[in-house]
Structure 1
Amino acid sequence: MQVEQAPSFGDKEEPHPYGTVELAVIGLGYVGLPLAREAASVGLRVVGLDRDPRVVAGLNSGRSHVGDVSDEEVRRMRAAGFTATTDDACLAGAQTVVICVPTPLGEDGGPDLGAVVSATRAVAGRLRPGQLVVLESTTYPGTTEEVVRPLLEESGLRAGKDFALAFSPERIDPGNTQHGLRDTPKVVGGCTASCAVRAVAFYAKFVNMVVQAKGTREAEMAKLLENTYRHVNIALVNELAIISRELHVDVWDAIRCAGTKPFGFQAFRPSPGVGGHCIPIDPNYLSYKVRSSLGYDFRFVGLAQEINRRMPEYVVRRAQDLLNSAGRPLHGSRVLLLGVTYKPDVADLRETPAEPVARLLREREAAVAFHDPQVPRWSVDGVDVPRVGDLTAALREYDLTILLQDHSAYDLPDLADTARLLFDTRGRIHRPGVEVL
């Protein structure tokens, strides 16, 4: 793509004792490490800053801790000059600093910006004229202007005049091999027009398409809109699944039929709940901003949260009914959970609905075990859940098997043939004898 020539900010950069690099990435998790990889792959000199010395030591030894980045890719990054460090002195020698730190929910239901504030203060302490600073951490509209900018300007430098400041929402989808960072359009919003031009020019070096937002607030809102859209539509089909069962309608077939319409419809499918960082967490940021700034609730998000949060309880109730129909109480029954990650073919357990399902089953005094090809060990509320080794034997032995995540490693027809009683919460096995959500 053609990009307008980036403007000059401040004075000419002077060499720094730590070494001059083109990019410093703060936070080397599932967002920051792929960003560092892509930048290094096009020849940019990259340094990564992380507060966890184990992460830093592993990366500098060629070991990855992120599923979407292989050890071999880390070794190639190292060969290209990448280094990881816990020393924020590296920030002063960077032409561009990108903040990719976590923003979990705080006690007030809004984002906990502690890591963002800490990272921004570290940048402010090393800020030099001419630098570009980008926030990628998901947050509510206004964070870049209202939180990050004032902290950076405590340095005495001014955004848009002495340095460039922008927001660019991360769009990393763990486990997605079809759409990576390079071929997923990158949204960028700058504090000023010149800040935006500078940020667009930076990302265009290693992303195929860069989309410029009107400003930082629009870029921040775009991220929340994407995930709130998914959250609300997942809640819609989850409630439809409950209603359809009472109406004697096969909701899966209804979705299949509706999905044949070539316009005006996008298929979402029922599930035992929502997981990961994005869907159950991000819409809360928007709710928080609406409530704190406007004084009323974002009702769509609240309703979606209510529906999606009750799905694990609905799954357990259905499991209990299924066992009762087979002449067994849930109390004392052996229940096997298949797939406990929040999405297929990844090892990510963040906000997985398998956790409340296991908790509810235990509360009803069922004996719970699990199997997951991605997860060697799993605990709920600090107590390990037994992991079965021989899946075939376990399917025959356990009173009920619940498919919570349809990893590609599972032979679904074989599960149906082998399990004593199978409850498919993913709608993948439509055959007699299998209970489907």
Structure 2
Amino acid sequence: MIGSQILQGRRPHSMYLVGASIIRTGGQFLTVSLITLFLGVEQAGQYVLAMAIAASIFVFTGLGINSTFFALKVPLAMSGYERALLFSYSAGALATGVLTAFVAPNLLGIVALVCLLKALDGLSDLYALTLQRHGQYRAVLTLAAERTAVYLIPTALALVLWRNLVLALFITAVASGVFVLARNRSLAHRLERALPVTGPGDAANGWRRAMTSGLQVGAGDAIASLATAIPQYLLSFYLGAAALVPFTYATYILVAIEMVLNARILIWMKRAQQQRQPVVGEYVRTLAIVFPLGALGILGVILLFKALNLEPLFTDPWAWVAVAGAAVVLPAVYLANAALLRKNLYHWTIVVSVAAAAALFLCGVLIIPQWAVTGALLTVVCGAVVRLFGLLIAGRAWQRET
């Protein structure tokens, strides 16, 4: 029951959120691995490209929920966010379908199912944030593990039995949808009813507040997501979809780091609602977690490349220097961005994201044709550095928060 999962009287522990993030990232990593193993690098590359096509649009239609949920001065009920997300995700799926019909019509079926899965991910994030608001950090970890199992088992069975990517994604989407609605939403909804955070009037207008607060943040996040996807687009353009697979494996190290950062930033922002939180100290503590995680990730990906006979990226030390550099820069980027959001400087996050996207594109065009996957990873570092300096210049975040 609900009561058995609430961490009554305990200090919120970010390790539950970190664990949930790692589990989710591991599930995504294993999904790409299963597709590569059973269907080959080419179809795995098509799946990665479909994810990249949908990514920026769905980050925008996600309304920056991970950033705004605890940043709003007046808390907003889950139902308000839920209505706003259902509307925005429907519009996002339509926009993604139209875009795909023009740029990659052969991927339309895959992209449609990816859109559904991304919408379910967004709703799952909303329900997890609701659980966090009520102190159910352990429940967040438990549900993440359960949903990852629900995601992976149907995928693996479908790939083994039918060797068809579209069918595998369809079965996975159905199983995941049933789980999110029956398990995640049910628990979060019962908590919201038992412990409401807003009055009836606020709840009725909640979706408007969610849209108003989320559109600017979502736009900035979407541009940042587009910037992250630029190396993927350029790799696919210059070298084909198959080149995306080794790059994706390498960047999953950074995805895992970003998941950890998201979890720690949520805790930091929640505590900052009550009192000022030092940024530099948080950066040092976070770096002590993510850098060893990055080192373990590099070792694991090197071994995986050898096992799957993929492009020998592990022979180029510059590739791993790029990954290590990104692991150092990303915590600073996330903290500087959180400091801006706490001061409601949403428009500056958009400006900075545009600058980072421009830098990524220019850097990628110059070095990816010659350096291939290594060049794409160095491009990611370039974009992160530009974004960090832009955030610091825009809000002088470090000085204001320390």
**Structure with the greater alpha carbon radius of gyration:** 1
Specify which structure has the higher proportion of helix: 2
- With structure 2 as the length reference, what TM-score do the two structures score? 0.24
Specify which structure has the higher proportion of strand: 1
